[in-house]
Each structure stands twice: as structure tokens, then as C-alpha cells.
């Protein structure tokens, strides 16, 4: 998902260079949303892994 966010960021930059402001801002918004979803998923899986590790060591 993080790769997809980076892909959208690159598309946004390229669209901005060519003067497509509306498309650039829309794609940048999608990249921002995907980035935050990836961060949230990372934190959730990190917490789950830590809790599973604690239950295995008991």
C-alpha cells in the first residue's frame, strides 16, 4: 500500500509539472489517504504482534 501511495505521489508531481492542477491535487489527496492508511495498519499489526509475542512467552 505504501508503494501505491508513492506511485500516486509521483503521478501528482508529474501532473503538477505539466500544469494539470486539478488532477495533481486529487491524486495527491489519494496518496495522502493511502499513506495514512498504511501507517495505521502498521501500528495495528505492530500491537497485535507484540501482544501475540507476550502470550507465547507466558
Q: What pLDDT does residue 58 have?
A: 72
Confidence of residue 43 (pLDDT cuts 50, 70, 90): very high
Mean pLDDT of 52-57: 82
Asked if pLDDT for residue 41 goes beyond 90, the answer is yes
C-alpha cell at 53: 509475542
pTM listed for this prediction: 0.77
Asked if pLDDT for residue 2 goes beyond 90, the answer is no
Q: What pLDDT does residue 7 have?
A: 93
Residues contacting 12, CB < 8 A, separation 6+ = 24, 25, 27, 28, 31
Instruction: List pLDDT tens digits, range 5-26.
Output: 899 999 999 999 999 989 899 9
Task: Return the number of other C-beta atoms located less than 10 Å from residue 26's C-beta.
Answer: 14
Amino acid at each position: 500500500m505504501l508503494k501505491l501511495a508513492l506511485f500516486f505521489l509521483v503521478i501528482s508531481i508529474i501532473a503538477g509539472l505539466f500544469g494539470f492542477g486539478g488532477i495533481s491535487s486529487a491524486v495527491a489527496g489519494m496518496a495522502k489517504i493511502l499513506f495514512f492508511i498504511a501507517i495505521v495498519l502498521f501500528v495495528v499489526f505492530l500491537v497485535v504482534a507484540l501482544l501475540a509475542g507476550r502470550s507465547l512467552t507466558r
